[in-house]
Amino acid sequence: MSLSTNLDFDTSASWQLSEQVSLRDEAFGALAYHHGNRRLVFLKSPELVALVRRLAEFDSADAAIEALTPPAQHERYARALASLQRSELLSGR
């Protein structure tokens, strides 16, 4: 199951939260701050925060999405991770 067919993001690859990123939990999810490029990003759901925090535990983004999110929302979370990667919040491992 690879969700990357319509994304500019390889969901079959291994990803992790960049070492340059700090997460601060908030009621809506979390604030992500990249210390290198000084970008601030809002993670707008606790489920997305959990996925991002645990991404490195899985062999691929596909595996993390499948394990941690409802099947009907897999594409939504793949798009969210693609956006985070474009913002340099995620790095390959």
Spatial separation of the C-alpha atoms in residues 79 and 4, rounded to whole Å: 9
Q: How many domains does the chain have?
A: 1
Instruction: Classify the phi-psi angles of 29: left when phi > 0, otherwise alpha if psi is within -120 to 50, otherwise beta.
Output: left
93 domain residue, yes or no? no
35 domain residue, yes or no? yes
24 domain residue, yes or no? yes
> For residues 3 and 62, which has the higher predicted lDDT (pLDDT)?
62
pLDDT at 5 (0 to 100): 47
- For 63, the domain range is 4-86
pLDDT at 8 (0 to 100): 81
pLDDT > 60? residue 82: yes
92 domain residue, yes or no? no
pLDDT at 7 (0 to 100): 64
Q: Which residues pair with 34 in a beta bridge?
A: 21
79 domain residue, yes or no? yes
Kindly report, residue by residue over 8-64, the tens digit of the pLDDT.
899 999 999 999 999 999 999 999 999 999 999 999 999 999 999 999 999 999 999
Average pLDDT over residues 84-91: 95
pLDDT > 60? residue 2: no
Spatial separation of the C-alpha atoms in residues 4 and 10, rounded to whole Å: 5
